[in-house]
Structure 1
């Protein structure tokens, strides 16, 4: 069996199916058999078959998930807690929501990164076509008119000739760089580096993403029956954002000094404004888990709006940059050419 971790979507689907059958009163063993048969073949079938074999030998679901090596440690820990507290159904449903929300946020981030990259690649392609294919034509025109090609145009054409001559090498190098970056991004260190870059470039967006993930994690753990101290400890391990981790540590420190959770979380800035007031009310009324769930949903909506705004702002900006670059290149050619033709006339 492959030890490659499952995606957020695959985990969410598994949790949703299992939660549905457990809620319907179907035994764990029979539920896994149904999921296995539904998968029919491939990775999902093999993973479920392995889980079923371990459960049939007497392992708990949490132990079976851990032994498989394809489920995140966080999910395994939550399932163990759910089994111990008798809230497996609720935990599975919360895990489904948690990983669906994570996937939604990841999809939004990919959209925010991919669209500008595609635009930039198209810009580079247009500029290269002009340099490699169009400018050499003007070079011939200058020669026919008996005029010297302007130095700027000569430099650009020389660059284009170099690109044409070493096109295969450039393509290979670019492909290698792309593959290396993709492999690096898939690693834990690469994801942390990307998260750090996102924090610096889009500070507010990175803050919203981290706060949304924190609220979602807290909602899941509180609904599983954890107290706020345990939930904070586990949430800390899930956070990539350094500022959020520092604020969680300060919150725990304030609570150790006797300050209530709701006050500490507001004082450290983890949640402020209306979110802070919602948490205060939820803490007093015993509905903190549902409050955190609503806050997580609000942040998810806010992230989508922010990313939409970024993309809307980037599109005209990139088009304007392309227009300026192409315009400058053409001006560098056309102005001297017009001067030569005027002199001839």
Structure 2
């Protein structure tokens, strides 16, 4: 990053300011693909570690106790190795920095806690950070579960009709030489495609599911996917709010800790695993290096809305950057919670209407020739 925390952290900061800073730690999502030490484990890890240190144990003793409480050998070894590295004279933040399971945000936060003497409070806020991330993920899963069940069931119904019902009508029409309307011919053509290539399609879907993590790790694929999601109505704005909440929380925290704005932007860029905002922050970083003001560096990118730009301008004029970013974060979090609740409410009727439309088209396309068939049989 090109800076030292001991140069950016004000040693004369009062205890009140430090406690105020701890109250506003980042609360949102950091995604670590393929890590066994996921956010759920981190929530318990930081929470237990904070409790033990507050109870008077030394950091090494606390880690040793946590290692002894682990049932899985992999986790026990993971904690034991950290204890061994502490014994070698490394600081706790250095221990975290050496491991891919921890992000820059985590080890720099711990380093700030070590420098300021608030390590237990820092660890507790990291626990809150991951607890809220897990809550957000659970809420999102709960919101999407029922609509996705409806969607999968409806797709199966449509596929069943195309694969089993439509061919039956098709045979009847062919046997009686009925002239088919265009819509019926289209539905029969789709049915033939499913009959011929259905197994292949299922195989491709299964392969994509198996390889999804590998695809996500591909930078080019991940970039295109992120920008595609951003263009999806409602979902795109929802994802933008998720990362705006993270960004504003990060800046609020880091300005409290006296980290310069440029370094805060650099850290946020590495923390946020979403290409549209990473690109926006890279542009922002370049403008700040050229001497452009903070609010002007935000302009010209649709990721940053007018509300943020206006309030950041006020923050610069009043020297209240930390306060303004904290308030922006609160607003984004509230908006995000509202949209999370609305997501399932919106998806359910939309899915029902769309699937109902397809089922209706299939039924109409099959019944239209029946009227001609009745006249043929009657003649």
Q: TM-score, normalised by structure 1?
A: 0.78
Give the superposition deviation at 1:228. 4.4
Match of 2:329 among 267, 272, 296: 296
Give the superposition deviation at 1:36. 1.4
1:272 alignment partner, SS class: helix
Post-superposition CA distance 1:286-327 (Å, at most 9, x none): 9x36x6556434422311322333432232222222222221
Greater CA drift, 267-276 or 50-59: 267-276
Greater CA drift, 68-77 or 19-28: 68-77
Change over 3 Å in CA distance of 1:193–1:95 after alignment to 2: farther
Matched, 1:47 2:78: yes
Q: Is the 8 A contact 1:91 1:224 kept in 2?
A: no
2:83 alignment partner, SS class: helix
Match of 1:219 among 238, 252, 256: 252
Q: Is the 8 A contact 2:284 2:298 kept in 1?
A: no
Matched, 1:72 2:103: yes
Post-superposition CA distance 1:182-223 (Å, at most 9, x none): 432356665544432232225533332222001221233345
Give the superposition deviation at 1:131. 1.3
More helix by share: 1
Greater CA drift, 203-212 or 171-180: 203-212
Post-superposition CA distance 1:270-296 (Å, at most 9, x none): 783799399849x7679x36x655643
Aligned partner of 2:344 in structure 1 is 311
For residues 312 and 189 of structure 2, what CA distance do their matches in structure 1 show? 64
Matches within 5 A, 1:65-144: 65-105=96-136, 119-142=150-173
Post-superposition CA distance 1:117-141 (Å, at most 9, x none): 6554433322211111112332344
Bigger RCO (CA 8 Å, 6+ sep) = 2
Q: Is the 8 A contact 2:178 2:372 kept in 1?
A: no
Aligned partner of 1:37 in structure 2 is 68
Match of 1:181 among 212, 219, 223: 212
Matched, 1:60 2:60: no
Match of 1:245 among 268, 281, 285: 281
Give the superposition deviation at 1:335. 1.9
Give the superposition deviation at 1:31. 0.8
For residues 216 and 9 of structure 1, what CA distance do their matches in structure 2 show? 20
Structure 1: runs of 5 or more not aligned: none
